[in-house]
Structure 1
Amino acid sequence: MKTLGVLGGMGPAATVAFLARLQALTPATGDADHIRVLMDLNPHVPDRNTRPGEAEVELGAMARRLAAAGAEVLAMPCNTAHAQAAGIRAAGLPFIDMIAATTAAAKATGAAAIGVLATGGGRALYAPALTAAGLMPVLLKEADQERFMALVYAVKAGDVGPDRRAEMRALGQALLDAGAGTVIAGCTEVPLLLGPNDLDAPLADSAEVLARACVEMCR
């Protein structure tokens, strides 16, 4: 079994939820059946949307520290930060590509048009990935995207109440109304507000997709 190194903290609640998914998705009858995980939960990574260069430097340093501590595979439950993946890969370890894995999961639903709930940086990654996979990206209108970002920061501030959940459902529905047949939860804060039964269409949850990929690669 390979040791997993996780670059986390972007944000902390989403990272903790990812670890819970990793544990729940691991087929185990006892402690020793689970994956060994080395975690760097670093909430001080510079903002991936506004300070990408500084973020890549810090993410690269995190990857090197995890490698030195014994990690054999790296994963990062933050979609936006995958724009800085080159700094992480420079550590020389296999790095699970969350964007590619989630795009493949969305394609597997059979939908031709895929809605994307993600930050601006996340949308910039998913749109070309979906297009390259022969799928049509469906994005929120500008006003709805601003509402989405407000929800992301609300989650980071600890607000995951019913009003916020209703707002996220409404944004997911807006993508379906615009023609999407599947919705990607392309920000790891999204599943803290939106569950698989909240929309009348498949939800490709990037955090769950990544957790499954980690289990497959490490076991």
Structure 2
Amino acid sequence: MSLILGVLGGMGPRATLEFLAKLQAYTPAERDQDHIRVLMDLNPQVPDRNVPGAAAGPVLAEMAGGLAGGGAEILAMPCNTAHAHADLIVRATGLPLIDMIGGAAKAAAETGARRVGVLGTKGALRLYREYLAARGLGLVTLPAERQGAFMALLYRIKAGDLSREACAEMAGLARELVAEGAEALIAGCTEAPLVLGPADTQVPLIDAGDLLAQRCVAVCLEHEPPPPI
């Protein structure tokens, strides 16, 4: 038997489906019954996490409560920016939440990098700055006008643009972070890996969503302990 995983998803929908595919791919299974039971709330109606005062937190807490009521024993949320509401989600349910940001920061430290570039929203960058600093690592970000270009590209990807042009633009932004001194990169938005892969960067690329899927499998199969509440 494995722990039942509750997933707060829909931020955005395509990235959530990619996360579920990775979750399935990382699970060692010879038959249907070997897979992890997953309860999913794929809710694209969560208020935009990038809009100040949008009040995503209460909606996420309500979603988490529904998953807990359905039998979830541990939670995951494949959205970096939404982790700003992690404490509220845990308090609302009493369930552990696997930390996406912490996992990516740990992986960045393990590369040996001292300065880490992050492709993410402003909210995600605030979280990564804190987590990386706790490990003695510096954060490299895009200048304001280029951060604006990243956000415009992000919303295009959410709208379904996975074109060569979108891939080239994301790779260009990654190169800019390396030029600014990043020795490793974190795809700190779940849409970024939809158009960016390790072959597109000159330094190690850490996919926070991919790491989250791996950790969910390990915890749900009880190969690793769940995070503390």
Q: TM-score range by the shorter chain?
A: over 0.9
- In the alignment, the residues of structure 1 paired with residue 25 and residue 203 of structure 2 have an alpha-carbon distance, to the nearest angstrom, of 24
* Aligned position for 2:4: 3
* Aligned position for 2:18: 17
**Following TM superposition, by how much is the alpha carbon of 1:54 offset from its aligned partner in structure 2, in angstroms?**
1.8
Is 1:149 the counterpart of 2:165? The answer is: no
Q: What do the CA deviations read for 1:106-141 (whole angstroms, capped 9, x no partner)?
A: 111111110010001000110111111111111111
The answer to whether the 8 A contact 1:46-1:52 is kept is no
The answer to whether the 8 A contact 1:165-1:193 is kept is yes
* Aligned position for 1:42: 43
* Aligned position for 2:141: 139
- In the alignment, the residues of structure 2 paired with residue 137 and residue 146 of structure 1 have an alpha-carbon distance, to the nearest angstrom, of 18
Of 142, 162, 165, 1:163 maps to 165
**Following TM superposition, by how much is the alpha carbon of 1:49 offset from its aligned partner in structure 2, in angstroms?**
2.1
* Aligned position for 2:227: none
Is 1:111 the counterpart of 2:113? The answer is: yes
The answer to whether the 8 A contact 1:52-1:84 is kept is no
Q: What do the CA deviations read for 1:73-118 (whole angstroms, capped 9, x no partner)?
A: 1000000000011221021111111111110011111111100100
* Aligned position for 2:226: none
- In the alignment, the residues of structure 2 paired with residue 48 and residue 125 of structure 1 have an alpha-carbon distance, to the nearest angstrom, of 13
| Identical-residue share of aligned pairs (%) | 55
* Aligned position for 2:83: 82
The 1:52–1:65 alpha-carbon spacing in structure 2 relative to 1, beyond 3 Å, is farther
The answer to whether the 8 A contact 2:48-2:56 is kept is yes
Amino acid at match of 1:95: L
Structural mapping, 1:185-196, within 5 Å: 185-196=187-198
Q: List structure 1 segments (4+ residues) > 4 angstroms apart after TM superposition.
A: none
- Count of residues in Structure 1 that have an aligned counterpart in Structure 2: 219
- In the alignment, the residues of structure 2 paired with residue 61 and residue 53 of structure 1 have an alpha-carbon distance, to the nearest angstrom, of 15
The answer to whether the 8 A contact 2:48-2:54 is kept is no
Structural mapping, 1:204-219, within 5 Å: 204-219=206-221
Runs of 5+ consecutive residues of structure 1 not aligned to the other structure:
none
The 1:70–1:43 alpha-carbon spacing in structure 2 relative to 1, beyond 3 Å, is same
Amino acid at match of 1:193: V
The normalised TM-score by structure 2 is 0.93
Runs of 5+ consecutive residues of structure 2 not aligned to the other structure:
222-229
The normalised TM-score by structure 1 is 0.98
Q: Provide the alpha-carbon RMSD of the alignment.
A: 1.0
- In the alignment, the residues of structure 2 paired with residue 49 and residue 168 of structure 1 have an alpha-carbon distance, to the nearest angstrom, of 19
- In the alignment, the residues of structure 2 paired with residue 71 and residue 51 of structure 1 have an alpha-carbon distance, to the nearest angstrom, of 30
* Aligned position for 2:94: 92
* Aligned position for 2:66: 65
- 3-state secondary structure, aligned to 1:38: strand
* Aligned position for 2:183: 181
- In the alignment, the residues of structure 1 paired with residue 120 and residue 5 of structure 2 have an alpha-carbon distance, to the nearest angstrom, of 25
